[in-house]
Amino acid sequence: MTSQAALEATMASTTLRRRWIQVAADDPAALTQASRSTGVDFAAAAGRVWETDDFVYLPVVVNVRRGDVLVREAVVFALGEDVLVTLQPRTPFAAFDKAIARIRRTPELTETPHGIMYALLYALNEVSERVIDSASDTLESMTDEITMATNGYDAQGREIGVTDMQDTIERMNEAEEIVSRSQETQLLLARAARHLRAEITPEHPRLAGLVDILIADVDGVKEHASYEHDKVRYLQQSIMTSLDVKQNQIVKVFTIITAVFLPPTLIATFYGMNFTKMPELAWEHGFLVTTTLTFVAALIPLWYIKRKGWLR
Protein backbone atom coordinates (compact mmCIF):
# COMPACT_ATOMS: atom_id res chain seq x y z
CA MET A 1 0.00 0.00 0.00
CA THR A 2 1.40 3.45 -0.97
CA SER A 3 1.66 6.25 1.55
CA GLN A 4 -1.17 8.10 -0.21
CA ALA A 5 -3.42 5.02 -0.08
CA ALA A 6 -2.54 4.47 3.58
CA LEU A 7 -3.38 8.08 4.35
CA GLU A 8 -6.72 7.82 2.58
CA ALA A 9 -7.51 4.60 4.45
CA THR A 10 -6.67 6.23 7.78
CA MET A 11 -8.80 9.27 6.99
CA ALA A 12 -11.65 7.04 5.87
CA SER A 13 -11.49 5.07 9.15
CA THR A 14 -11.52 8.28 11.17
CA THR A 15 -14.47 9.65 9.21
CA LEU A 16 -16.27 6.30 9.47
CA ARG A 17 -16.04 6.31 13.27
CA ARG A 18 -17.38 9.86 13.33
CA ARG A 19 -20.28 9.28 10.96
CA TRP A 20 -21.28 5.77 12.09
CA ILE A 21 -22.09 4.99 15.72
CA GLN A 22 -22.73 1.35 16.60
CA VAL A 23 -24.84 0.64 19.67
CA ALA A 24 -25.31 -2.86 21.08
CA ALA A 25 -28.93 -3.56 21.99
CA ASP A 26 -27.87 -5.15 25.30
CA ASP A 27 -25.69 -2.18 26.35
CA PRO A 28 -27.87 0.47 28.06
CA ALA A 29 -24.86 2.67 28.83
CA ALA A 30 -23.85 2.86 25.14
CA LEU A 31 -27.46 3.56 24.19
CA THR A 32 -27.68 6.40 26.70
CA GLN A 33 -24.40 7.88 25.50
CA ALA A 34 -25.49 7.74 21.86
CA SER A 35 -28.78 9.41 22.78
CA ARG A 36 -26.99 12.25 24.56
CA SER A 37 -24.43 12.83 21.81
CA THR A 38 -26.72 12.56 18.77
CA GLY A 39 -30.29 12.89 20.06
CA VAL A 40 -31.26 9.47 18.71
CA ASP A 41 -34.29 7.84 20.39
CA PHE A 42 -34.81 4.21 19.45
CA ALA A 43 -37.52 3.78 22.08
CA ALA A 44 -39.77 6.23 20.26
CA ALA A 45 -39.34 4.29 17.01
CA ALA A 46 -40.47 1.07 18.74
CA GLY A 47 -39.17 -1.16 15.95
CA ARG A 48 -41.12 0.50 13.13
CA VAL A 49 -40.43 2.97 10.37
CA TRP A 50 -40.43 6.34 12.10
CA GLU A 51 -39.40 9.85 11.10
CA THR A 52 -38.45 12.77 13.30
CA ASP A 53 -36.86 16.12 12.57
CA ASP A 54 -33.38 14.64 12.94
CA PHE A 55 -33.58 10.94 12.08
CA VAL A 56 -35.34 8.36 9.95
CA TYR A 57 -35.63 5.04 11.81
CA LEU A 58 -35.61 1.93 9.59
CA PRO A 59 -35.81 -1.54 11.20
CA VAL A 60 -34.48 -4.64 9.44
CA VAL A 61 -34.59 -8.28 10.56
CA VAL A 62 -31.90 -10.45 9.01
CA ASN A 63 -31.23 -14.20 9.18
CA VAL A 64 -27.68 -14.99 10.26
CA ARG A 65 -26.20 -18.47 10.33
CA ARG A 66 -24.06 -19.42 13.30
CA GLY A 67 -22.64 -22.80 12.52
CA ASP A 68 -25.64 -25.08 11.95
CA VAL A 69 -28.07 -22.75 13.71
CA LEU A 70 -29.98 -19.98 11.95
CA VAL A 71 -30.90 -17.01 14.13
CA ARG A 72 -32.88 -13.87 13.42
CA GLU A 73 -31.15 -10.62 14.29
CA ALA A 74 -32.84 -7.22 14.45
CA VAL A 75 -31.00 -4.09 13.32
CA VAL A 76 -32.46 -0.59 13.48
CA PHE A 77 -30.92 2.18 11.36
CA ALA A 78 -31.25 5.75 12.57
CA LEU A 79 -30.27 7.83 9.54
CA GLY A 80 -29.49 11.47 10.19
CA GLU A 81 -28.09 14.25 8.05
CA ASP A 82 -24.55 13.88 9.39
CA VAL A 83 -24.53 10.63 11.34
CA LEU A 84 -25.81 7.07 11.13
CA VAL A 85 -26.60 5.20 14.35
CA THR A 86 -27.26 1.46 14.28
CA LEU A 87 -28.93 -0.43 17.10
CA GLN A 88 -27.56 -3.93 16.55
CA PRO A 89 -27.31 -7.25 18.45
CA ARG A 90 -23.68 -6.71 19.43
CA THR A 91 -20.57 -4.77 18.57
CA PRO A 92 -18.87 -5.66 16.41
CA PHE A 93 -21.59 -7.33 14.35
CA ALA A 94 -20.14 -10.01 12.06
CA ALA A 95 -22.74 -9.35 9.35
CA PHE A 96 -21.23 -5.87 8.86
CA ASP A 97 -17.64 -7.09 8.29
CA LYS A 98 -18.01 -7.14 4.52
CA ALA A 99 -19.55 -3.64 4.61
CA ILE A 100 -16.52 -2.31 6.48
CA ALA A 101 -14.21 -3.90 3.91
CA ARG A 102 -16.27 -2.34 1.12
CA ILE A 103 -16.06 1.08 2.77
CA ARG A 104 -12.29 0.76 3.04
CA ARG A 105 -12.06 -0.02 -0.67
CA THR A 106 -14.37 2.89 -1.48
CA PRO A 107 -13.48 5.71 0.97
CA GLU A 108 -15.91 8.16 -0.63
CA LEU A 109 -18.78 6.20 0.93
CA THR A 110 -17.82 7.78 4.27
CA GLU A 111 -18.54 11.28 2.97
CA THR A 112 -22.17 10.90 4.04
CA PRO A 113 -24.00 8.57 6.43
CA HIS A 114 -26.11 7.57 3.44
CA GLY A 115 -23.07 5.98 1.81
CA ILE A 116 -22.31 4.04 4.98
CA MET A 117 -25.88 2.82 5.23
CA TYR A 118 -25.74 1.75 1.58
CA ALA A 119 -22.70 -0.43 2.36
CA LEU A 120 -24.41 -1.93 5.41
CA LEU A 121 -27.60 -2.77 3.52
CA TYR A 122 -25.50 -4.25 0.73
CA ALA A 123 -23.76 -6.53 3.25
CA LEU A 124 -27.06 -7.62 4.84
CA ASN A 125 -28.45 -8.44 1.41
CA GLU A 126 -25.46 -10.69 0.73
CA VAL A 127 -25.91 -12.40 4.10
CA SER A 128 -29.54 -13.09 3.25
CA GLU A 129 -28.60 -14.42 -0.18
CA ARG A 130 -26.12 -16.87 1.37
CA VAL A 131 -28.85 -18.16 3.69
CA ILE A 132 -31.16 -18.75 0.72
CA ASP A 133 -28.37 -20.50 -1.18
CA SER A 134 -27.79 -22.73 1.84
CA ALA A 135 -31.47 -23.69 1.90
CA SER A 136 -31.31 -24.39 -1.83
CA ASP A 137 -28.26 -26.63 -1.33
CA THR A 138 -30.15 -28.51 1.38
CA LEU A 139 -32.96 -29.22 -1.05
CA GLU A 140 -30.51 -30.33 -3.74
CA SER A 141 -28.86 -32.76 -1.31
CA MET A 142 -32.27 -34.33 -0.73
CA THR A 143 -32.91 -35.01 -4.42
CA ASP A 144 -32.49 -38.81 -4.14
CA GLU A 145 -34.73 -39.00 -1.09
CA ILE A 146 -37.41 -36.91 -2.75
CA THR A 147 -37.22 -39.01 -5.92
CA MET A 148 -37.65 -42.21 -3.93
CA ALA A 149 -40.57 -40.68 -2.06
CA THR A 150 -42.39 -39.69 -5.23
CA ASN A 151 -41.71 -43.11 -6.81
CA GLY A 152 -42.88 -44.84 -3.66
CA TYR A 153 -39.96 -47.27 -3.30
CA ASP A 154 -36.53 -47.11 -1.69
CA ALA A 155 -33.22 -48.38 -3.14
CA GLN A 156 -34.01 -51.95 -1.99
CA GLY A 157 -37.39 -51.89 -3.71
CA ARG A 158 -39.28 -51.68 -0.44
CA GLU A 159 -42.35 -49.51 -0.31
CA ILE A 160 -41.83 -46.20 1.51
CA GLY A 161 -44.19 -45.19 4.28
CA VAL A 162 -44.77 -42.01 6.26
CA THR A 163 -42.28 -42.98 8.98
CA ASP A 164 -39.58 -43.56 6.35
CA MET A 165 -39.95 -40.01 5.06
CA GLN A 166 -40.40 -38.27 8.42
CA ASP A 167 -36.82 -36.99 8.59
CA THR A 168 -36.93 -35.75 4.99
CA ILE A 169 -40.25 -33.99 5.56
CA GLU A 170 -38.91 -32.29 8.70
CA ARG A 171 -35.84 -31.01 6.83
CA MET A 172 -38.04 -29.73 4.02
CA ASN A 173 -40.21 -27.93 6.55
CA GLU A 174 -37.10 -26.32 8.02
CA ALA A 175 -35.98 -25.22 4.55
CA GLU A 176 -39.42 -23.73 3.90
CA GLU A 177 -39.28 -21.79 7.16
CA ILE A 178 -35.83 -20.44 6.33
CA VAL A 179 -36.91 -19.29 2.88
CA SER A 180 -40.10 -17.73 4.27
CA ARG A 181 -38.07 -15.76 6.80
CA SER A 182 -35.71 -14.69 4.02
CA GLN A 183 -38.65 -13.33 2.04
CA GLU A 184 -39.60 -11.20 5.02
CA THR A 185 -36.00 -9.99 5.31
CA GLN A 186 -35.91 -8.98 1.66
CA LEU A 187 -39.10 -6.98 2.03
CA LEU A 188 -37.60 -5.09 4.97
CA LEU A 189 -34.32 -4.52 3.14
CA ALA A 190 -36.16 -3.24 0.07
CA ARG A 191 -38.16 -0.83 2.21
CA ALA A 192 -35.02 0.45 3.94
CA ALA A 193 -33.19 0.85 0.62
CA ARG A 194 -36.06 2.82 -0.91
CA HIS A 195 -36.20 5.14 2.09
CA LEU A 196 -32.44 5.58 1.80
CA ARG A 197 -32.79 6.44 -1.88
CA ALA A 198 -35.39 9.07 -1.06
CA GLU A 199 -33.01 10.70 1.44
CA ILE A 200 -30.10 11.06 -1.01
CA THR A 201 -29.75 14.59 -2.37
CA PRO A 202 -29.04 15.39 -6.04
CA GLU A 203 -25.49 16.40 -5.03
CA HIS A 204 -24.58 12.68 -4.82
CA PRO A 205 -25.62 11.16 -8.15
CA ARG A 206 -23.09 8.30 -7.96
CA LEU A 207 -24.39 7.16 -4.58
CA ALA A 208 -27.95 7.41 -5.88
CA GLY A 209 -26.99 5.12 -8.75
CA LEU A 210 -25.41 2.63 -6.35
CA VAL A 211 -28.55 2.57 -4.22
CA ASP A 212 -30.67 2.00 -7.34
CA ILE A 213 -28.50 -1.03 -8.12
CA LEU A 214 -28.85 -2.18 -4.52
CA ILE A 215 -32.64 -1.98 -4.74
CA ALA A 216 -32.53 -4.11 -7.89
CA ASP A 217 -30.24 -6.63 -6.16
CA VAL A 218 -32.54 -6.85 -3.14
CA ASP A 219 -35.51 -7.45 -5.42
CA GLY A 220 -33.50 -10.10 -7.28
CA VAL A 221 -32.71 -11.96 -4.07
CA LYS A 222 -36.39 -11.68 -3.08
CA GLU A 223 -37.38 -13.30 -6.39
CA HIS A 224 -34.82 -16.03 -5.75
CA ALA A 225 -36.36 -16.62 -2.32
CA SER A 226 -39.83 -16.76 -3.88
CA TYR A 227 -38.63 -19.31 -6.43
CA GLU A 228 -37.08 -21.49 -3.73
CA HIS A 229 -40.24 -21.17 -1.63
CA ASP A 230 -42.41 -22.29 -4.53
CA LYS A 231 -40.03 -25.17 -5.20
CA VAL A 232 -40.02 -26.46 -1.64
CA ARG A 233 -43.81 -26.17 -1.45
CA TYR A 234 -44.12 -28.14 -4.70
CA LEU A 235 -41.77 -30.85 -3.39
CA GLN A 236 -43.70 -31.03 -0.12
CA GLN A 237 -46.95 -31.35 -2.00
CA SER A 238 -45.49 -34.05 -4.27
CA ILE A 239 -44.30 -36.12 -1.32
CA MET A 240 -47.54 -35.75 0.59
CA THR A 241 -49.58 -36.61 -2.50
CA SER A 242 -47.46 -39.73 -3.06
CA LEU A 243 -47.89 -40.80 0.56
CA ASP A 244 -51.63 -40.09 0.42
CA VAL A 245 -51.95 -42.25 -2.71
CA LYS A 246 -50.07 -45.04 -0.95
CA GLN A 247 -52.33 -44.78 2.08
CA ASN A 248 -55.37 -44.88 -0.18
CA GLN A 249 -54.01 -47.99 -1.89
CA ILE A 250 -53.58 -49.70 1.47
CA VAL A 251 -57.14 -48.79 2.45
CA LYS A 252 -58.36 -50.06 -0.93
CA VAL A 253 -56.64 -53.42 -0.42
CA PHE A 254 -58.24 -53.85 2.99
CA THR A 255 -61.61 -52.83 1.56
CA ILE A 256 -61.35 -55.42 -1.21
CA ILE A 257 -60.32 -58.12 1.25
CA THR A 258 -63.27 -57.22 3.46
CA ALA A 259 -65.68 -57.27 0.51
CA VAL A 260 -64.42 -60.69 -0.65
CA PHE A 261 -64.55 -62.37 2.75
CA LEU A 262 -67.77 -60.79 3.99
CA PRO A 263 -70.21 -63.18 2.18
CA PRO A 264 -68.32 -66.35 3.24
CA THR A 265 -68.18 -65.00 6.77
CA LEU A 266 -71.94 -64.46 6.68
CA ILE A 267 -72.50 -68.04 5.50
CA ALA A 268 -70.18 -69.38 8.19
CA THR A 269 -72.12 -67.35 10.75
CA PHE A 270 -75.39 -69.01 9.72
CA TYR A 271 -73.94 -72.51 10.05
CA GLY A 272 -72.36 -71.64 13.35
CA MET A 273 -75.78 -71.16 14.94
CA ASN A 274 -77.00 -73.93 17.26
CA PHE A 275 -80.37 -74.68 15.64
CA THR A 276 -82.01 -78.05 16.35
CA LYS A 277 -82.88 -78.80 12.75
CA MET A 278 -80.51 -77.93 9.87
CA PRO A 279 -81.54 -80.01 6.80
CA GLU A 280 -78.17 -79.49 5.09
CA LEU A 281 -76.47 -81.56 7.76
CA ALA A 282 -78.40 -84.64 6.61
CA TRP A 283 -77.63 -84.21 2.90
CA GLU A 284 -75.16 -86.56 1.30
CA HIS A 285 -73.52 -83.70 -0.59
CA GLY A 286 -74.27 -80.98 1.97
CA PHE A 287 -70.63 -80.23 2.70
CA LEU A 288 -69.77 -79.92 -1.00
CA VAL A 289 -72.74 -77.66 -1.70
CA THR A 290 -71.98 -75.43 1.23
CA THR A 291 -68.29 -75.18 0.29
CA THR A 292 -69.15 -74.37 -3.32
CA LEU A 293 -71.67 -71.76 -2.22
CA THR A 294 -69.07 -70.16 0.01
CA PHE A 295 -66.51 -70.09 -2.81
CA VAL A 296 -69.01 -68.55 -5.25
CA ALA A 297 -70.04 -65.98 -2.67
CA ALA A 298 -66.38 -64.90 -2.41
CA LEU A 299 -65.90 -64.75 -6.20
CA ILE A 300 -68.96 -62.61 -6.94
CA PRO A 301 -67.73 -59.43 -5.16
CA LEU A 302 -64.21 -60.02 -6.52
CA TRP A 303 -65.61 -60.23 -10.08
CA TYR A 304 -67.67 -57.09 -9.53
CA ILE A 305 -64.71 -55.13 -8.13
CA LYS A 306 -62.50 -56.18 -11.06
CA ARG A 307 -65.20 -55.26 -13.57
CA LYS A 308 -65.46 -51.78 -12.06
CA GLY A 309 -61.72 -51.34 -12.37
CA TRP A 310 -61.16 -50.84 -8.66
CA LEU A 311 -58.16 -53.18 -8.68
CA ARG A 312 -56.09 -50.79 -10.81
- Same domain membership, residue 105 and residue 204: yes
The pLDDT tens digits for 260-277 are 888 888 878 877 777 777
The pLDDT tens digits for 173-220 are 888 888 999 999 999 999 999 999 999 999 999 999 999 999 999 999
Structure confidence at residue 11 (pLDDT): 46
Is pTM beyond 0.85? Reply is no
Has residue 113 got a pLDDT over 90?
Answer: yes
- Same domain membership, residue 221 and residue 118: yes
- Same domain membership, residue 226 and residue 113: yes
Structure confidence at residue 238 (pLDDT): 76
In this predicted structure, which of 4-8, 11-15, 77-81, 106-110 has the lowest mean pLDDT?
4-8
Report the pLDDT averaged over residues 229-244. 80
Q: Give the residue from 233, 248, 263 where a domain finishes.
A: 248
In a domain, 99, yes or no: yes
Has residue 8 got a pLDDT over 50?
Answer: no
Structure confidence at residue 160 (pLDDT): 65
Has residue 84 got a pLDDT over 90?
Answer: yes
Task: Reduce the secondary structure of the chain to three states and give it as a string.
Answer: CCHHHHHHHHHHHHHHHHHEEEEECCCHHHHHHHHHHHCCCHHHHCCCCEECCCCEEEEEEEEEEECCEEEEEEEEEEECCCCEEEEECCCCCHHHHHHHHHHHHCHHHHHCHHHHHHHHHHHHHHHHHHHHHHHHHHHHHCHHHHHHHHHCECCCCCECCCHHHHHHHHHHHHHHHHHHHHHHHHHHHHHHHHHHHHHCCCCCHHHHHHHHHHHHHHHHHHHHHHHHHHHHHHHHHHHHHHHHHHHHHHHHHHHHHHHHHHHHHHHHHHHCCCCCCCHHHHCCCHHHHHHHHHHHHHHHHHHHHHHHCCCC
In a domain, 18, yes or no: yes
Has residue 145 got a pLDDT over 80?
Answer: no
